[in-house]
Amino acid sequence: MTEMSPHPRPLYRSFGSDQDRFWERGERRLSARVFLLLTVALALGLAGCADRIGGDDPDEVSLALDWYPWANHSPFFLADERGYFDEEDLDVDIHVPANPEDVLMLVGSGRDTFGISYQTSVLQARQEDIPVQSVAALVQYPLNSIMTLEGSGLESPGDLAGMQIGYPGIPSNEALLETMLESEGLTLDDVELVNVGFNLVQALIAEQVDAIIGAYWVHESILAENEGFPVNIMRVEDHEVPIYYELVLVASDETIEDNPEMVERFIRAMQQGYLEAMDDFDAATDAMMEEYPDTDRALESDSIVMLAPLWTEGAEYFGQQTTERWQDFADWMIDGGLLDPDTHVDEAFTNEFVEAAIEDDE
C-alpha cells in the first residue's frame, strides 16, 4: 500500500526562518506493524495516561503540535493565556515535538495526551494499528491547493497540460493532482511532476516549475505575496476532490476509554479559545507571539483572517465531524490506492466530546 505522509509545511531556508529543523521531512512509511505494537506497549507501560495525581491537583496533559506555531495554533495559546484550561483543572503543555511527523505515534503510545494531525493520516494510522482517534475537527475544509504565479495565465487545472508541477514527493499530492486534472479532462501523463522537496514556493518564484501542489492556500500564498509574487489558487475541493478535514485533534483509544471526562474538559477549553479567537484575531496572535516571539507576525496575522472562517464554515458547531465526510474521503483514498478497503471509518473519529462540551456550556 502506498503511504500518505502527513501534510508537509513547505517554507524555505531562503526566506530566513529559524524553523529549519522542521522542513527536512522526507516521506517515510509508518514503522513496521510489529515494531509499532511493541513500541506502543512499552511506552504505555512506562508513561501511562495523564491521570490525576490527587484530588486537588490538575490533570497534566500535553498537546503535540503538527508544525511550528502558526495561525491555527493560536486559539490554544489564547485559551491557555485566558485561563480556560486552568478553569477545567488542566495543566497543559503545548509543544512542538522533535519530529512533528511522529505526532500520531506519540499520542498512540501515551507519550502525548493530544495531538494535531490530519484526517488522511488518522485513517492510515488506524490501518497500521496505531490506536488514535480524531476527537474534533479543527479545520472544516482542505487547505492544500495548486498555486501558479498570478501573471502566468494558468488559472485552472485544465491549463496545466504540458506544464511542470512541483510537489514534495508525497503520493497524496499526486492523488490530489490526478483528481483535479481529471476534472478537466487531463491525466498525470499530461504534466511533468518535479520533486522539489519542500521548497515549493521557492521553486515557483524562481520559475523552476510552472505550478506547485502541496502548499496551504491560507499560508504559503501569503508568504509568496509578501515576497512580491502574488499567486493564483486552485483549491482541491473545487475540482472533484471530496471535502475533508485538513486538521483534527487526536487522542488515543486508551485516553478516550479511561479518561473521557478529561477529554471533554480539554475540548471545552479549546472550543472557548477558538470561538474567542474568531472574535479577536489580534488577541489570539498576541498570545501565540508571547510564547513564540520569533514567529512572523505579519504572516500569521494575515493567515488567521483567511483561516478562521474555516474553523466553523459548513458545520453546525465548532469541532463537528460527519460520517459522510469521513466515508467519502476514505472511499477516495481507497480508489487511489492510499487506503485498504477494509478500513473501519467509524472507529477513526468521534463527536462525543465536542457535543458533550457544548451541552455543558448550555
**502548499: which residue's cell?**
215
**Spatial contact of 245 and 197, defined as CB atoms under 8 Å apart:** no
User: Model confidence over 51-63: pLDDT tens digits?
Assistant: 433 346 899 999 9
CA distance linking residue 169 with residue 177, whole number of Å:
12
**Spatial contact of 62 and 92, defined as CB atoms under 8 Å apart:** yes
Q: Which residue has the higher pLDDT, 297 or 14?
A: 297
**Spatial contact of 115 and 328, defined as CB atoms under 8 Å apart:** no
**Spatial contact of 197 and 25, defined as CB atoms under 8 Å apart:** no
CA distance linking residue 17 with residue 9, whole number of Å:
13
Three-state SS at 349: strand
What DSSP state is assigned to residue 231? E
Cell of 110: 501515551
- 1-15, 42-56, 251-265, range with the lowest pLDDT: 1-15
Three-state SS at 243: coil
- What distances in angstroms separate CA 201 from CA 38, 100, 212, 304, one per listed residue? 40, 21, 8, 20
Delineate the domains of the chain, giving CATH numbers in brackets: 31-141+246-361 (3.40.190.10), 144-239 (3.40.190.10)
**519542500: which residue's cell?**
198
pLDDT surpassing 70 at residue 341: yes
- Which residues, in sequence order, are CB contacts of 314 under 8 Å at separation 6+? 140, 141, 243
pLDDT of residue 358: 84
Chain centroid offset of residue 66 CA: 6
User: Model confidence over 269-286: pLDDT tens digits?
Assistant: 999 999 999 999 999 999
pLDDT of residue 100: 83
- Structure-derived torsion over alpha carbons of residues 152, 193, 243, 199, reported in degrees to the nearest 10: -70
CA distance linking residue 70 with residue 53, whole number of Å:
32
In total, the chain counts a number of residues equal to 362
Taking residue 65's Cβ as centre, other Cβ atoms within 10 Å add up to: 19
Q: Provide the whole-model pTM.
A: 0.85
Describe the crossing of helices 74-81 and 281-291 by its angle, rounded to 10 degrees.
80
- Which residues, in sequence order, are CB contacts of 96 under 8 Å at separation 6+? 22, 64, 65, 67, 68, 69
- Structure-derived torsion over alpha carbons of residues 186, 187, 189, 193, reported in degrees to the nearest 10: 100
- 48-52, 112-116, 117-121, 249-253, range with the lowest pLDDT: 48-52
- 43-47, 179-183, 206-210, 286-290, range with the lowest pLDDT: 43-47
CA distance linking residue 197 with residue 195, whole number of Å:
6
